[in-house]
């Protein structure tokens, strides 16, 4: 059960969110005020960050130099950014760009490869690809081999690891498992049917894998896997962090699980006295432009944290009171 966002955000913070880029305003109104104004979503194409990403598109429908190069201005990561903005999913230019990737970048194993010099596909890349390809309404027949590839990469512990089919990894990765779970969640939300029950089962097992690690701890020792998982750069790219993971659980409609408690407590603890969350230093790489300033209050992180706390905060408080 969600609680009132006012328990975590005062009116000044809400006003600050609503004064941001139109993509932030659209998602904040929808997720924090229950006001899904599609007129705002329609404006993302022609205003602010959405317009700037689209303006960087090459004449051949790509971004950057190649599908995955260079980070983070390649077609792959730009399309992931556009999906994160929740720009109009029926955008014809974007759909053409995705069709170009499908026609040029599929590998013999049925997946999308990070580079033409690499014969094996990468399950983390394919999870992200499934996320934006289904958001932008790619025909199901074009995605079937990608679904087949993803399901073939599922590991015995329930998650996924992009090194399974290249160097023989035996343990799943939080990074890959989250990217695949996000892709499957969007696939299901967009109404696709091909092998859907198997995908839903795979997403459930990937989330259970994450929860067995309490989202950031070694299952064997209980130690923090990496301090980077507790930092909040935005966009997160392919890398796992606890705020991104919790927002996925929220988006996927998952119920409260006490194994989320440690991560949610850390997220709540990072709220500043002014009610906002800061932006951590980004993952190194070239960008089209900076959406926000490092070390300053971040509308993206504040939006994500508030909607996660709205969804799970009351359950966290109840757990801590026991």
Q: Which residue has the tokens 């992009």?
A: 162
* CA 180 – CA 184 distance, rounded (Å): 6
Mean pLDDT, rounded, of the chain: 95
**pLDDT band at residue 319 using 50, 70 and 90 as cut-offs:** low
Dihedral Cα 191, 68, 236, 163, nearest 10 deg: 90
Task: Output the pLDDT for position 314.
Answer: 76
What pLDDT digit, counting tens, does each position of 260-315 carry? 999 999 999 999 999 999 999 999 999 999 999 999 999 999 999 999 999 999 76
Query: How much is the pTM?
Result: 0.95
Task: Output the pLDDT for position 285.
Answer: 97
For residues 286 and 73, is the Cβ–Cβ distance under 8 A? Answer: yes
Mind listing the domains of the chain with CATH numbers?
A: 1-46+228-322 (no CATH), 48-212 (1.50.10.20)
**pLDDT band at residue 78 using 50, 70 and 90 as cut-offs:** very high
């Amino acid at each position: 059960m969600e609680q009132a966002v006012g328990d975590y955000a005062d009116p000044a913070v809400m006003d600050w969110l609503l004064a941001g880029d139109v993509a932030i305003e659209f998602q904040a109104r929808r997720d924090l005020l229950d006001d899904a104004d599609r007129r705002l979503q329609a404006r993302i194409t022609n205003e602010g960050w959405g317009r700037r990403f689209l303006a960087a598109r090459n004449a051949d429908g790509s971004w950057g130099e190649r599908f995955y190069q260079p980070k983070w201005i390649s077609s792959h990561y730009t399309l992931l950014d556009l999906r994160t903005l929740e720009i109009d999913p029926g955008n014809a230019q974007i759909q053409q760009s995705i069709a170009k990737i499908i026609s040029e970048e599929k590998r013999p194993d049925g997946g999308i490869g990070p580079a033409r010099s690499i014969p094996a596909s990468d399950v983390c890349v394919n999870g992200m690809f499934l996320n934006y390809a289904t958001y932008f309404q790619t025909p199901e027949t074009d995605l079937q081999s990608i679904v087949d590839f993803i399901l073939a990469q599922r590991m015995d512990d329930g998650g996924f690891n992009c090194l399974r089919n290249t160097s023989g990894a035996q343990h799943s990765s939080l990074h890959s498992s989250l990217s695949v779970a996000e892709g499957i969640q969007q696939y299901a939300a967009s109404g696709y049917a091909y092998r859907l029950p198997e995908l839903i089962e795979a997403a459930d097992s990937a989330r259970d894998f994450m929860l067995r690690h309490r989202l950031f701890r070694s299952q064997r020792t209980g130690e923090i896997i990496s301090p980077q998982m507790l930092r909040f750069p935005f966009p997160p790219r392919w890398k796992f962090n606890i705020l991104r993971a919790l927002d996925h659980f929220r988006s996927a409609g998952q119920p409260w699980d006490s194994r989320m408690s440690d991560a949610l407590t850390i997220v709540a603890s990072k709220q500043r006295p002014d009610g906002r969350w800061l932006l951590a230093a980004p993952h190194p790489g070239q960008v089209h432009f900076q959406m926000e300033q490092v070390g300053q209050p971040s509308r993206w992180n504040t939006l994500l944290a508030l909607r996660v706390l709205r969804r799970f905060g009351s359950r966290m408080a109840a757990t801590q009171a026991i």
